[in-house]
Structure 1
Amino acid sequence: PGSPPGPPEDVKVEHISSTTSQLSWRPGPDNNSPIQIFTIQTRTPFSVGWQAVATVPEILNGQTYNATVVGLSPWVEYEFRVVAGNNIGIGEPSKPSELLRTKASVPNVAPGNINGGGGSRSELVITWEAIPEELQNGEGFGYIVMFRPVGTTAWMKERVALVESSKFIYRNESIMPLSPFEVKVGVYNNEGEGSLSTVTIVYSGEDEPQLAPRGTSVQSFSASEMEVSWNAIAWNRNTGRVLGYEVLYWTDNSKESMIGKIRVSGNVTTKNITGLRANTIYFASVRAYNTAGTGPSSLPVNVTTKK
């Protein structure tokens, strides 16, 4: 009875392009059962173990076999090995070929998750998901950021050269707070410019709230809690958007920084604060906040907690 074939020998890369590789090898011993199939496997520094790859049919040339591996990624290091099979089973793999890098090409994967916003007044912050190294397709990789105010026709275009960068900030004094921009992000390397993402709307940064809350008051319910309340701010684009409020509270004992800070989001106008000391004077003040930061604080009010 036979056994599975021995490992193929002398696996060589004859030619390599950006997406294909031509291999040659010689069969090992067939162990008394003719070899029926060869499988080519590959691995890269990014892959987990060896994987079978798509090949173009083998050609027999005397005792040497040839095959072309297709569907490789540009500018990635590959090594190859060959496994033979017969009626009895699949044999041991060959020794790997030498590690070779495919040729570079223009990058063809556009960045995803285009986003941004926030930042300071007069800033447009644009973010995206970085492209992993195995999809950069060559040296000199970077990003192309294109943007224009909604309703205009000419795109502004900036190159961001740092490979690990996934953020770009455009600063211009003439940008109004919370202005919408059309944004798209593409890729390039030394071979040329690649594909662009679809267009996303991103808003420029905003001003901090310009108004302090009015009508702030505080009352004590027990020895350990007080309630702070205030009037909501009627805001517009010029006075700064309000996303919520920040309640600050403290005692006048200078030995300890008994300062607390609690945020409430949305249109909430009261906040219960617990865990206080009995029979102690507490001061409280309220300020509005948004993505740019916090606005001016209301005048402090105070209350003495119950005994």
Structure 2
Amino acid sequence: MITTPLTEATTQSSSGISTTYEPTYPPTYEPTYRPTYRPTYVPPSSTYGPTYEPTYRPTYRPTYVPPSSTYSPTYEPTYRPTHRPTYVPPSSTYRPAYKPTNRPTTNPPNVTTIQPPPIYEPEINYFKCHDNQADISWIPRGNTENIVYYTIEHSTSFKPYVWSIFVDKTDANFHVISLSPGTTYTFRVIATDKNGKFSQSSETEMCSTKPDAPYTNPTNVYVKSASSNYLLVSWKPMAQSIHNGPGFFYRIYYRQAGLGWIRPWNQETVTDWKQDKYLLKYSSSLKWEIKVVAVNKVGESKVKPIVITI
């Protein structure tokens, strides 16, 4: 409900003094009271009925603020610095700038260093291959005063990329070299100076020797009983350089001991030159004689083998 307050005004007329009321603007809003009824408690009576007295509670209406397009809250942003490196795109013309170091530059004194002449590899001027030997000679080159010694190295067809010393630390420039039969050789000469540096000559042509029967037999031959019916025969394998020719193998001889020439030798063959043992069937009630011989296509070894009795 809207009420308009009246302002009392006094005017004078011909009949006397009269009072009028004028409204005051702007109007004010007063809360509207809505009565609530609560009963007044009266003891029960057959003639009495309860009466209700209204209790007035004010109701409040919020003041309405119309929306406005010009109103908006303001927020103050929080600033956090971000560190990003400065990116420089690749360019063929870009070069980083270097700060010069303030160091005094002094020209080094003019020193003349005299370098000794380098050592050149020896030059093989003669090489001759025979049946079981080779002749080799060379010409020293370069600063020969600093050369301490020469070394002759060789490789064989069994190990073509492995060089081994054949004649070590010699000051002569001519040698006659003894060779093994049935082997192909290649030689070179190496010069070594005082500082341990060396220079090598070019390789010689291949030298092949004539095959021959082996000059030795297997060593470290050992025989023991492996069981009641077998003997274990073992030995040290022979290197290819002493096979003296193709078709190399081992031949194992065995016979009953004490009978001599009356009882001929029995034999077994081992074709793998790397093999180092063999099981031999025998009778444990008898004594036996055993020997191991090296053989190639030319024939058996010319050296008498060791006979083992067990």
- What TM-score do you get using the length of structure 1 for normalisation? 0.49
Q: Which has the higher contact order (CA 8 A, sep 6+)?
A: 1
Structure with the greater alpha carbon radius of gyration: 2
